[in-house]
């Protein structure tokens, strides 16, 4: 699938998995409209995109809670206004159970849920420090399988561009060999 001028709308865009998807999409020539509650984080992400040498037009955003109908509508309208269309909509708000239902009910919409596996968070780090009974080997083994939420952007981008129908309606683990 050609990705130049690809138009992507993503909720939860300012941090974690959503941020990773935004950066991967822009790196591959897409235009992204992000939606997140933190205008400060969205603005910081836009500044980072520009600092990395990409056009300021490659990332635009709407600040607000995407579960609010008016905010969701504003994000869609902004994408249409700025880009004329939407190629992909990513609901990055822990709504994985909806994915299978959408795939059955909305035949024109490709839906894929990503199961990222062990993902590093500050809470995980705090809890990890408390696990003293584990041997050093098991701690190192676990550490090798944990990645940062932003790392999943690569996997999601591969799904969008290379497997738009193969995984429709399925839950995909980021360890899926074809996504590497």
**Are 59 and 46 a contacting pair, CB within 8 Å?**
yes
Long-range CB contacts (within 8 A, 24+) of 141-145: 142/118, 145/117, 145/118
Cα distances from 164 to residues 27, 33, 81, 118, in angstroms, run 19, 20, 25, 25
| Superfamily holding 7-179 | NAD(P)-binding Rossmann-like Domain (3.40.50.720)
The parts of the chain modelled with pLDDT lower than 70 are 1-4, 93-152, 163-165, 167-180
Give me the pLDDT at residue 120, please: 57
Distance separating alpha carbons of residues 146 and 139, to the nearest angstrom: 11
pLDDT at 55: 95
Task: Provide the pLDDT for residue 94.
Answer: 42
The 10s digit of each residue's pLDDT in 121-156 is 566 566 555 554 444 444 454 445 455 666 667 777
Q: Is the pTM of this model over 0.75?
A: no
Rounded to 10 degrees, what is the CA torsion of 83, 51, 47, 49? 40
- Per-residue model confidence (pLDDT) at position 42: 97
Distance between CA atoms of residues 166 and 149, nearest Å: 24
**Would you say 171 and 115 are in contact if contact means Cβ atoms under 8 Å apart?**
yes
Q: What is the predicted pLDDT for the residue at 91?
A: 79
Structural domain boundaries in the chain: 7-179
């Amino acid at each position: 699938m050609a990705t130049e001028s690809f138009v992507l709308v993503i909720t939860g865009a300012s941090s974690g998995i959503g941020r990773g998807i935004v950066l991967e999409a822009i790196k591959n020539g897409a235009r992204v409209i992000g939606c997140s509650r933190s205008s400060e984080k969205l603005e910081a992400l836009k500044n980072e995109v520009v600092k990395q040498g990409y056009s300021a037009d490659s990332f635009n955003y709407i600040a607000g809670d995407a579960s609010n109908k008016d905010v969701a509508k504003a994000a869609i309208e902004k994408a249409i206004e700025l880009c004329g269309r939407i190629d992909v909509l990513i609901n990055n708000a822990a709504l994985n159970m909806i994915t299978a239902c959408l795939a059955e009910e909305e035949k024109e919409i490709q839906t894929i849920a990503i199961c990222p596996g062990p993902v590093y968070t500050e809470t995980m780090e705090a809890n990890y420090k408390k696990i003293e009974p584990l041997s050093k080997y098991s701690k190192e083994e676990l550490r090798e399988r944990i990645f940062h939420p932003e790392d999943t952007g690569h996997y999601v981008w591969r799904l969008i561009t290379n497997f738009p129908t193969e995984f429709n309606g399925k839950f995909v683990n980021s360890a899926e060999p074809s996504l590497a």
